[in-house]
Amino acid sequence: MKDCYLGVDIGSISTKGVIIDDDNNIITSTYIWTEGNPTEAVKKLLNVLKKNLPKDYVIKGIGTTGSARKLIGLMLKANIVKNEITAHAIGTLTFYPNIRTILEIGGQDSKIILIKNGIITNYAMNTLCAAGTGSFLSSQAKRLGINVEEFGDYALKSKNPVKIAARCTVFAESDLVHKAQVGYPKEDIIAGLCKSVVLNYLNNVGKGKKIIPPIIFQGGVSKNKGVVKYFKEILKEDIIVDENSHLMGAIGIAVLARRNKTGNTYSLEMSNLKFITKAFECHKCPNTCELLKIYRNDELVDSWGSKCGKY
């Protein structure tokens, strides 16, 4: 039997799972939509992974990352739960040890990570606003009536990207509607959108940061060729996009799961697991904490959100 390690990255839009062996080779991986229900998404994810995993492997570690990492960490009894910035950096450094800058645009988050000698020296993440992230692009795609997956090809066709306000999603959207009504061709508008994502990113999370090559671009939006093109054009540098760029977080957390292995073995069988969360508001003091109780097979495993520690 050979050892292997599972990394799960549960983002706001998509859920990614990857299984690696002791030498960081990817044995199998998958990518599905979260659809606002992380526990169901992870159950589906594990089913797919289980089917594709050769029988002679045993899982010796599970790590979770992404915005639902704590919840899914409890569900899978993960041996490590880590934030996505650390996970992304580790995943990337596993394959590109000399990388200096990681650009990442996901569904709700965008981040920039600066690395020197394999150590993160600085990073930034979008603060309050999700402008220019994947969810913005997909909602605009819907408005224009095309699949977000085709966005990149459309953008590459354009020779004159229209100018679209880059600062705020709401302004960008009204700009986009105006441009469409005035009669600009679709590909020019789409190219303009891709360019505005890049400008928004560089003015927002990227501001004040020195972007030094080699640069790698990852997260779901890195699959969009239009955005990649404008990053290259504006930064005047080459941009690496790995074929597994969307999986880097999951790979990173799988690597961490291996480093922190405890000797336990894990199963991917979750179909019988009853995993429920119950939310309620406590009214015993003026704080009115929003509490979340988490049950694993009818047993209370954790509760979150209490300020006083009563629950």
Enter the tokens of residue 270. Answer: 């979750």
Enter the tokens of residue 297. Answer: 């097979």
**Selected binder of other proteins within 208, 236, 284, 309 (CB under 8 A):** 208
**Selected binder of other proteins within 273, 276, 285, 300 (CB under 8 A):** 285
Helix (H) or strand (E) holding 119: strand 119-125
Report if residue 24 touches other proteins, rule: CB under 8 A. Answer: no
CB of 94 to other proteins, least distance (A): 10
Report if residue 127 touches other proteins, rule: CB under 8 A. Answer: yes
Report if residue 203 touches other proteins, rule: CB under 8 A. Answer: no
Choose the binding region for other proteins from 83-91, 145-153, 235-243, 294-302 (rule: CB under 8 A): 83-91
* Backbone dihedral angles phi then psi of residue 165, each to the nearest 5 degrees: -55, 125
CB of 134 to other proteins, least distance (A): 17
300, exposed or middle or buried, with CB in 10 Å at 0-12, 13-18, 19+? Answer: exposed
CB of 258 to other proteins, least distance (A): 12
Choose the binding region for other proteins from 82-90, 137-145, 219-227, 230-238 (rule: CB under 8 A): 82-90
Q: What is the DSSP string of 221-235?
A: GGG-HHHHHHHHHHH
CB of 109 to other proteins, least distance (A): 8
Residue 251 makes CB contacts below 8 A (sequence gap 6+) with 7, 18, 20, 24, 26, 91, 94, 95, 244
Residue 158 makes CB contacts below 8 A (sequence gap 6+) with 185, 187, 188, 190, 191, 192
Give SS3 for 73. helix
Comparing CA positions, the residue from 206, 209, 216 lying closest to residue 92 is 216
Q: Compose the 40-79 pattern: x for residues touching other proteins by CB under 8 A, - for all others.
A: ---------------------------x--x---------
Instruction: Name the pairing type of β-strands 101-105 and 119-125.
Output: unpaired
Q: Which is nearer to other proteins, 86 or 303 (CB)?
A: 86
**Selected binder of other proteins within 37, 52, 98, 122 (CB under 8 A):** 122
Number of residues interacting with other proteins: please give it, by CB under 8 A.
Answer: 28
Binding site for other proteins (CB under 8 A): 67, 70, 82-86, 89-90, 93, 118-125, 127-128, 207-208, 259, 285-288, 290
